[in-house]
Amino acid sequence: MNIINGNEDMLNGKSAPFVLKKIREAAYRSMGGSGSREGIGAGFMDKSGVTADNVNFRFPRYVLVVVLRGRGTYVDDHGEIYPLESGSCFQRFPQKLHSNYVDPDSEWNEFYLEVGPLLYQALSSMLIIRSGSPVSSLSLDENLKWQVWDLVQALKTANEDMLPELVSQAVSLLGECHRRMHAPPEFKDRLLVFEEACRVLSNDFDLPCDLNKFCRKHGVGYEYFRKMFKERCGISPWQYRVRRRLDLACGMLSGSPDIPVTEISGKLGYSSPYEFSAQFKRYVGTSPLHFRKGKRG
């Protein structure tokens, strides 16, 4: 561990605010068989005095970098320049050209989280990692920093059997960072509205769901709400309701084998078992009956 300015006692006891100065502490663990490029990593890096961090660089893995202190710039693959400061975060996308520069007098300090290219693709497809703008802002607190610090220490000492658990920990931290990143400032005070909408859309499938009325109640324009909902979930509110209804259907078909398919259809608000079966097969890829019996068709 490379710590200067007497921070070691503070780190061991976790009794003081998380103020890391002049620290370089990082760990990466490769996973998988021969030829695998997969793994997870995390670290804290002091880059005081550094000018060019990466120039026209294509990193093989995905990295999320959070600026704890300092100033700099990020240049994406189209040449667009983004300013960086304390609270900024930027993404290194696998094999995507980028550069980032550091003000050498700004006492730059960062933490980062890193995953392999296949895990990145999976997390991106599930919108745990949201590959929109490469640069955003992120609300920081002591707890988040300590969680990343704990992951670094665990990666350094974990035996191979512990790595799957640490993958889960790294994914959880990436998800938390992206939740903090991708709420636009004008929408942050409406995140509770979004969460309430998810709750409403996930219940009472046998009753009408009037989203226009919901938006009026919460003082949000419908088109604005629909756009922001899709940005956060990747699908429209109505697609989300269909997904949640079919998730429930899958659970009922698997967990309640004695309930007839026609009864499940009625409980979920379908006008007929035929409508239920058609939508289920369109989205799930097999009929409700074949799903229950473990067959494809």
Residue ranges, CATH 2.60.120.10, the chain: 2-181
Residue 194's pLDDT band, with cuts at 50, 70 and 90, is confident
Structure tokens at 119: 């895990």
Integer CA distances (angstroms), 21 to 12, 45, 62, 279, in order: 15, 9, 26, 57
| Residues 60-94 pLDDT 10s | 999 999 999 999 999 999 999 999 999 999 999 99
- Do 279 and 288 form a contact (C-beta atoms < 8 A)? no
Which pLDDT belongs to residue 12? 47
Domain 2-181 has CATH 1.10.287.1400: no
Domain 188-293 has CATH 1.10.1670.10: no
The DSSP secondary structure of 243-288, one letter per residue, reads: HHHHHHHHHHHHH-TTS-HHHHHHHTT-SSHHHHHHHHHHHHSS-H
Model confidence, pTM:
0.69
| Average pLDDT of the residues of the chain | 86
| Residues 242-251 pLDDT 10s | 999 999 999 9
Which pLDDT belongs to residue 278? 93
d(CA 48, CA 64): 19
Residue ranges, CATH 1.10.10.60, the chain: 188-293
| Residues 153-181 pLDDT 10s | 999 999 999 999 999 999 999 999 988 88
- Name the CA dihedral angle for 32, 37, 40, 46, rounded to a multiple of 10 degrees: 150
